[in-house]
Amino acid sequence: MDFSFGAEDVGFREEARCWLAEHWGEGAGGAVDWAVRRSWERELGRGGWVGIGWGRAYGGFGNRAVTLAQQVVWAGEYAAAGAPERVGHIGENLLAPTLIAYGDAAQRDRFLPSVARGEELWCQGYSEPGAGSDLAAVRTVAVRDGGVYRITGQKIWTSLAREADWIFVLARTDPGERRRRGLSFLLVPMDQPGRIEVRPIRQLTGTAEFNEVFFDGAVARAEHVVGGPGDGWRVATGLLALERGVSTLAQQVAFGRELDEVIGEAVRNGAVDDPVLRDRLVRQWAELRVMRWNALRTLGPAAGDTGAPSVAKLLWAGWHQRLGELAMHVRGAGAASGPGDWSADAPYELDAAQRRFLFSRADTIYGGSDEIQRGIIAGRVLGLDGGRKR
């Protein structure tokens, strides 16, 4: 695909840049201020910047079609502006395209407008204890009871579950089936006291973006089964292919900002004079460029490549983890010092680089571990099964 931008794209970029400059500013960047973050989602919705890639029929930006190139422009400008990580991205980039591809008209009419307005937040109920990235090992059960399903089980590593209004859940609706068969994709409201419990998982950073979610008879209405009963595997795996798309390019813009910070620190403290460290900085820069070219390739001629999402995940997860380590090496002994005084009586504080280093330890695990991604590549691309040709 040709990603050279024409006059229309340049105008779109200027519109995006001006809007962000006007609306993204003072008091909006609280890392854990959820009221502010939700308010920002609604502001994006009022500006028409949510769901710009859905197409005209589903409330796309300005009620007009937005090209793939313009989606790339918006994602890049958003990241370049230093705007916060989206709390509505699961609804916008995962659930909505899934409903467009597999849902019915009633489901789209019910859920897409609220996502586009930034009013309802979603989380993803896939991983389970003892199963990890093995999606087919789901043990959460949903039993049909008249016009609803009653759900019992547990999900883990559920991002933003404490703030979400809804969760899409992969559950076993036919207990007589195993592995990929008998699964259904359910849309479940989170506000069910006594039936849904969310427990935060405290991380190295001291924060708890990940959560455990327990279902004890939680209710999902029967019309909120996407694709129909028993079709959950097709819907769930179709959704996973959406996780690495235009958003990957925006992620890389943010990565570029982080790399610039590390390079700036190395120049200021003289660490750049170390030839080994300088070589590592150059390697990080070169690998980031390769990731961008690969992402553009998968949006163009290689669209539909079954191994592309796994390759992209392997590339960025390892790269980001190495960047966190490199930032600590650049700082040297000072990397152990926090922005404030640490004591046994008060929780320690982390600066941005320290937080990034600690959080990046999870990059190669969440969203499908490196081992799972290599297994997918072996099976879908190389045609291998257990190390042997099928």
**Active site amino acids:** 243
User: 148-155 and 122-125: which strand pairing?
Assistant: unpaired
CA dihedral 239, 245, 250, 253 (to 10 degrees): 130
Amino acid at 48: G
Task: Please say whether the beta carbons of 152 and 78 come within 8 A.
Answer: no
Task: Please say whether the beta carbons of 75 and 247 come within 8 A.
Answer: yes
Report how far residue 374's alpha carbon sits from residue 33's, in angstroms, rounded to the nearest whole number. Answer: 37
Report how far residue 144's alpha carbon sits from residue 207's, in angstroms, rounded to the nearest whole number. Answer: 37
Instruction: Tell which residue, 326, 321, 319, has the closest CA to residue 274.
Output: 326
Give the Cα-Cα-Cα angle 263, 245, 360 (nearest 5 degrees): 40
CB atoms under 10 Å from CB of 226, counted, come to: 25
Contacts of 336 (CB under 8 A, 6+ apart): none
Phi and psi (nearest 5°) for 212? -100, 140
Q: Which two tokens stand for residue 170?
A: 């992969």
Report how far residue 309's alpha carbon sits from residue 312's, in angstroms, rounded to the nearest whole number. Answer: 5
Concatenating the DSSP letter of every residue in 190-213 gives S--TTTEEEEE---TTS----EEE
Q: Which two tokens stand for residue 268?
A: 């200021």
CA dihedral 85, 312, 275, 326 (to 10 degrees): 40
Task: Please say whether the beta carbons of 295 and 312 come within 8 A.
Answer: yes
DSSP state of 58: G
Q: C-alpha distances in angstroms, 82 versus 73, 294, 385?
A: 15, 24, 43
Report how far residue 88's alpha carbon sits from residue 40's, in angstroms, rounded to the nearest whole number. Answer: 10
